[in-house]
Amino acid sequence: MTQIPAERLGNEVLRSKIMTAEEAAKLVKDGDTVGVSGFTPSAYPKVVPPAIAKRATEAAKSSRLTSTPAHPSAPSATLR
């Protein structure tokens, strides 16, 4: 997947918020509900939902974090 270089963002505040999918997945806490949408496939977040699902799968043995696909083609995680 092609990444947009951080230097292409002119706004320093927005540039400082760029993180990896794994870092974004760590922001999801127990009890959170995560919803994603994209008007077209190019706008759908392609790497964050699988990173959340991976984290949920790894953590399911020791917490209430579970992976629940919302749709067969869109991996997701549900925190209960």
- Which pLDDT does position 66 carry in this prediction? 54
Please tell me the distance from the alpha carbon of residue 71 to that of residue 61, in angstroms, as a whole number: 23
DSSP H helices, 26-72, are 48-59
Nearest to 64 by CA among 50, 53, 78: 78
**Model's pTM, two decimal places?**
0.60
Give the number of other CB atoms < 10 A from CB of residue 24: 18
Per-residue pLDDT of the chain (80 residues; tens, 9 = 90+): 456 666 777 888 888 888 899 999 999 987 888 887 777 777 777 888 899 888 888 877 666 555 555 555 655 555 44
